[in-house]
């Protein structure tokens, strides 16, 4: 079984779309480990704040199959297949880690390079998997979070209604 960690974020009806995405992920890959949710500013464009969290699960699916399922769930949440990169999102699901796989294949880059630069990815991952070792930096997520410049990346914990399963 492979440990997979996925960032989930939305700034269009985020509570509804995150709930829908988590339900679909649970149906496909449950049981899930779900981090607390955090509100942060949009990155790369002006727009409504995002609500982000991280979901962890184990699977026997190949990374390509996981990505296909994530794209299916994004579509289920109202994201068009050819959505603009820096724009509002009903749902954005990104593979952060796929076990210790290091991949540079387009669309399947792991570990996700933004993981160590974005508090809204690193902190929720720390919340559910602090002792996982980053496959290229060879440091735990705890070590990476403890060294992270939190002052430069404001985030606010939020309750997402309806409540997320734990």
Other Cβ atoms less than 10 A from the Cβ of 36: the count is 16
Whether 92 is catalytic is yes
Query: Pick the catalytic residue: 39, 89, 112, 118?
Result: 89
Whether 16 is catalytic is no
Whether 94 is catalytic is yes
Enumerate residues 6+ apart whose C-beta is below 8 A from 12: 48, 78, 88, 89, 90
Burial status of residue 142 (CB atoms within 10 A of its CB: 0-12, 13-18, 19 or more): middle
24 SS3 class: helix
Query: Pick the catalytic residue: 19, 67, 79, 112?
Result: 79
Query: Pick the catalytic residue: 19, 94, 118, 127?
Result: 94
Query: Pick the catalytic residue: 19, 39, 67, 92?
Result: 92
Active site residues: 79, 89, 92, 94
């Amino acid at each position: 079984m492979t440990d997979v960690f996925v960032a989930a974020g939305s700034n269009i009806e985020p509570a509804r779309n995150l709930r829908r995405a988590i339900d679909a992920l649970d149906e496909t890959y449950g049981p899930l480990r779900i981090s607390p949710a955090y509100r942060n500013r949009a990155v790369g464009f002006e727009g409504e704040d995002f609500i982000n969290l991280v979901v962890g699960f184990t699977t026997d699916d190949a990374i390509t199959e996981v990505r296909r399922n994530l794209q299916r769930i994004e579509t289920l949440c109202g994201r068009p297949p050819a959505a603009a990169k820096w724009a509002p999102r009903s749902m954005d699901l990104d593979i952060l880690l796929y076990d210790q796989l290091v991949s540079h294949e387009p669309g399947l880059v792991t570990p996700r390079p933004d993981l160590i630069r974005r508090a809204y990815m690193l902190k929720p991952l720390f919340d559910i998997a602090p002792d996982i070792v980053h496959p290229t930096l060879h440091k735990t997520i705890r070590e990476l979070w403890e060294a992270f410049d939190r002052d430069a990346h404001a985030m606010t914990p939020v309750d997402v209604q309806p409540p997320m399963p734990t």
